[in-house]
Amino acid sequence: MRTVRPRAGSLAYYPRKRAKDIIPKYQSWPQYDGQPMLQGFAGYKAGMTHVIMIDDHKKSPTEGKEIMVPVTVIEIPPMTVAAIRVYVKDTYGKHPLTEVWAENTEALSGRITKAKTNNAAKATEKINAAIEDVVEVMVLMYTKPTALTGVPKKVPDLMEIRVAGGSAADRFAYALSILGTEIEMSSLFADGQFADITGITKGKGFNGAVKRFGITLRKRKHSRAKKTRHIGTLGPWHPHHVRWQVPMAGQMGFQQRTEFNKRIIKIGDNPDEINPAGGFLHYGLVRGNYVLIKGSIPGPAKRLVRIRSATRMGEQKVQTPVVEFVSLQSKQG
């Protein structure tokens, strides 16, 4: 039976153009009704290795036995809460009401223009007066790339992270309590939890339809037109234009992608436990806190990745993994 496969690329990811920013953006966050807490974090991808752990998946053929699991290593230096931003909603949608900035924001001098005066007290009064209309409480947090030796950058990456749980007043009070402080990932996530990982994929520039969509090379008499790596047809006479579904050449890679329900295998602070001989390729040695994520994640080494509480957990149970061995074998071949 003949298989019809016009393309290998999904039509769900359009337009296939470069991401606007190397810092991923979130449009949605999971629902949470407990005590106020932050729902995200960020780190820098170091590389991959593998671990030997006990299979705790129920009804698995290897349940209770040792299995080899590939993991991605992300270096996660502490993040600092620079500001609080609250949103209100009207007939035109959500928009920021005001912001409360911390005093110690000198590290952001290369990223933003700092205000001459800090209006934190005035902004706090404004938020408290309109707290009944507040629908979202966000904090602006920035990374600390100067603590890394594998990432050649000094300017921090600034991003919004949602505060969830309780009423708007509770969330705002919690945000005020952590304003200007350093937050570690171990205070937000635990071993065995599931998270969504978002990153900007590795850029591959301008590519043809064969590599970009996996179309078949033109064979036999169709190749005599001196075009073997082109699409067979651009579509019918009518509609009288080339439709957007036709696989064509264009930008490939450097696009934001999210992988859901990635299991956190381990969060640690001793890099000697995971640094391979000779360091990670194109990164070097991990110097501080790290997290092991099951499987691969988008993006090359050194790239910023964001970690969010899982939005599609389903009925999966959170169990602490039993890791018996982490491979420290050299990745240099």
The band of 243, judged by pLDDT with boundaries at 50, 70 and 90, is very high
Overall fold of domain 13-27+40-76+185-214+246-332: Elongation Factor Tu (Ef-tu); domain 3 (2.40.30)
pLDDT interval class at 1 (50, 70, 90): low
Residue 3 pLDDT more than 80?
Answer: no
Q: Which amino acid is at 246?
A: V
**The pLDDT of residue 2:** 63
**What DSSP character marks residue 296?**
-
* Six-digit token string for 310: 């899982």
Q: Which helix (H) or strand (E) holds 129?
A: helix 120-129
329: left (phi over 0), alpha (psi -120 to 50) or beta: beta
C-beta separation of 261 from 196 below 8 A: yes
Select 78-182's CATH number: 3.40.50.300, 3.30.1430.10, 3.40.50.150, 3.20.20.140.
3.30.1430.10
State mean pLDDT over 226-245.
Answer: 91
Is residue 265 a contact partner of residue 51, using CB atoms and an 8 Å limit? yes
Rounded Cα–Cα distance for residues 267 and 302 (Å): 19
176: three-class secondary structure by DSSP: helix
C-beta of residue 171 within 8 angstroms of C-beta of residue 165: yes
* SS3 category, 136: strand
- Give the phi and the psi of residue 75 in degrees, each rounded to 5: -85, 130
Residue predicted with more confidence, 217 or 6: 217
Tens-place pLDDT, residues 85-124 = 999 999 999 999 999 999 888 888 888 888 888 889 999 9
Mean of per-residue pLDDT scores for the chain: 93
Residue (of 104, 201, 111) closest to 153 by Cα position: 111
List C-alpha distances in Å: 108 to 104, 141, 145, 156: 9, 10, 12, 7
Give the C-alpha separation, 43 to 195, whole Å. Answer: 13
Q: What SS3 class is residue 70?
A: strand
How far is residue 149's CA from residue 164's CA, in Å, rounded to a whole number? 33
Handedness of CA 5, 9, 13, 16 (dihedral sign): negative
Domain ranges in the chain are 13-27+40-76+185-214+246-332, 78-182
Residues 277-323 have pLDDT tens digits of 999 999 999 999 999 999 999 999 999 999 999 999 888 888 999 99
* Angle value at C-alpha 296, between 75 and 257, nearest 5 degrees: 90
What's the rounded Cα separation, in Å, for the pair 305 and 289?
A: 15
Amino acid at 191: D
Would you tell me how many other CB atoms lie within 10 Å of the CB of residue 171?
24
70-88 pLDDT per residue, tens? 999 999 999 999 999 999 9
Instruction: Report the chain's terminal Cα–Cα distance, integer Å.
Output: 43
Helix (H/G/I), strand (E/B), else coil: 159: strand
